[in-house]
Chains A and B, each alone.
Chain A
């Protein structure tokens, strides 16, 4: 069986520096060959890379009790790249338009069998304009979504903000998304190795959540704002109860839950249990084994809107081994 090719999703508002970043990737001599999928008509080869323009087409898939939106055009293009021979490429980069909801792109990599076999979603990289992000977060739910979905955030235009302002922005970002890795840049000057092949969606390589960010929920948030809610516990999780509970939560609140990520200590299990979800689509896999004498703990994060901390806490607690 051939290896899955990594897919990087690049998102961010127009003007944040996304195009600059893309051009860097296409012109720098990093020795890698990419297929780049962009929202512009026509396809053009740029030196070694292949650039394909698409007409974004989102449709709803209904598969029993799971309902999700996917990008039909991406499914088509990826089938086309397979036809050409995927081993020609080191990776695929999907650029989304400024106002795009990242969910359909991410869900496409969970939902289509052919895409799942050939590719793996590697990371969502969001480029953020440090100068304007505060205003954006106030007036635009799309900007919040893009931060919520990010695994890696390129905090760009650092030349236009002070260090204090940058620190405040990072704190605000972490309140929405406690586990995204933030890189401060000017002119999107980030090395390729920092954003590519990071395994953020690879359940066996799921990034561990930094403890200091976990309690960063906003005190004065409005209902329409994206928040993160995180839980940690030393008590073991009972697998059957967790699966039932999380299934309910995602089925009922799926539309409001942008992402969920967890690394769990399952009762009587030798290995961690890695879990993630994008809206209603969930994925899980065994993680690294617990070492002898290692302190076992579980971390679970929800990012979304209209989340009720108490209800989620109660539900999660009911999955724990109280003994």
Chain B
């Protein structure tokens, strides 16, 4: 990531001059832009999806060791998620594959060359959903038959499973379509708000639906109270959204700081957002919430990578800005490890407990 760092060698990164704490971190340089990143469920492996269709798999216990280069797709890899013991990767060449940690791949679905980019998975049920134009391809559980739900009024821009996995929400132009299938047959309802809804996330307590809009705003629906709000004022479309582990905060991009909305008590209405994390004025370009600790990672367009402590309300710089956009970052579920990928093919793995 930082041109001053040597390739593929152990790197010591300072976690901010204030703490003087040092981390062991490892840098990589791949041949194509890094599009997506994920840890396996047990955290033992991590993977990067590249713009040339490769998925690179490495071992957390030996980040400098052998890496697997899996040529999975003809297009880029906009989505990579932990699934079962391995990963699912979705390409804009219209293929969805399962990639095992030993590198074996299996074609799960072929969408006939469609430009597919959005993939949602639900850990407990094993449900999978892929947006394909105005339709969504849905597997309601591990091993279930593929079904197609739709058509939506416009192309689906993003989708997200409900917390219990027995429903999902789809964002598209002019609103959101909510699906649920408690009695097997999917039913839908529609929430309208004019404009392009580009990203969607749901609160774990099922009370809130939040979308990111083209005009630089978030739209929030409180399902229970049947009220909705438009949170304006972002510099640009806030399409990166991430929850804190306890769902107390929703972090959003769209600015040169991470904007964090409080979702405890009654929600964000009438309350101020936290603004944490900054990298010399560059825009936030990637966001991930730690699954069990009150920490969030944010990547920036100048290559900056920041860890945000939500309790202390402080941010710590993880790396020197390299001038290339951080496109993805992810935490391991099982421990304090973080990875990030960069548009110029750079990537980093850091073990925060070392």
Contact = CB atoms under 8 A, between A and B. Distances in A.
Interface of A: 1, 41-45, 52-55, 57, 59-63, 70, 72-73, 75-77, 80, 82-85, 112-114
Contact of A80 (B32, B78, B133, B157): B78
B150 interface: no
Contact of B196 (A1, A59, A77, A114): A59
Nearest to B93: A43
Contact of B215 (A43, A61, A76): A61
Interface residues of B, number: 35
Given A59-B195, A72-B173, A113 B115 contact: no
Nearest to A1: B323
Interface string B74-103: 111010000000000000111000000000
Given A57-B173, A80-B78, A84-B51, 15 more contacts: A42-B113, A43-B93, A52-B115, A55-B155, A59-B173, A59-B196, A63-B216, A70-B214, A72-B173, A80-B76, A80-B92, A80-B117, A83-B76, A83-B92, A112-B214
Interface in B109-166: 112-115, 117, 133-134, 154-155, 157
6 nearest CB pairs, A to B: A83-B76, A42-B113, A84-B51, A113-B236, A84-B76, A59-B196
Nearest to B154: A57
B76 A113 contact: no
A79 to B, nearest CB: 8
A77 B115 contact: yes
B155 A63 contact: no
A302 to B, nearest CB: 28
A119 to B, nearest CB: 15
24 contacts: A43-B92, A43-B93, A43-B94, A52-B115, A55-B134, A55-B155, A59-B195, A59-B196, A61-B214, A62-B215, A63-B216, A70-B214, A72-B173, A80-B78, A80-B115, A82-B343, A83-B76, A83-B92, A83-B327, A84-B33, A84-B76, A85-B52, A112-B214, A112-B237
Contacts of B52: 84-85
Contacts of B92: 43, 80, 83-84
B237 A113 contact: yes
A55 B152 CA distance: 13
Given A63-B216, A80-B92, A85 B33 contact: yes
A115 to B, nearest CB: 11
B35 interface: yes
Contacts of A82: 33, 343
Secondary structure at chain A's binding surface: helix, strand, loop or mixed? mixed
A44 B113 contact: yes
Contacts of A63: 215-216
Contacts of A72: 154-155, 157, 173, 196, 214
A62 B113 contact: no
Interface in B159-177: 173-174
B314 to A, nearest CB: 29
B200 to A, nearest CB: 15
B219 to A, nearest CB: 13
Contacts of A52: 115
B210 to A, nearest CB: 19
Contacts of A42: 112-114
Contact of B115 (A1, A54, A70): A54
Nearest to A113: B236
Given A43-B93, A59-B196, A72-B173, A83 B215 contact: no
A53 B154 CA distance: 16
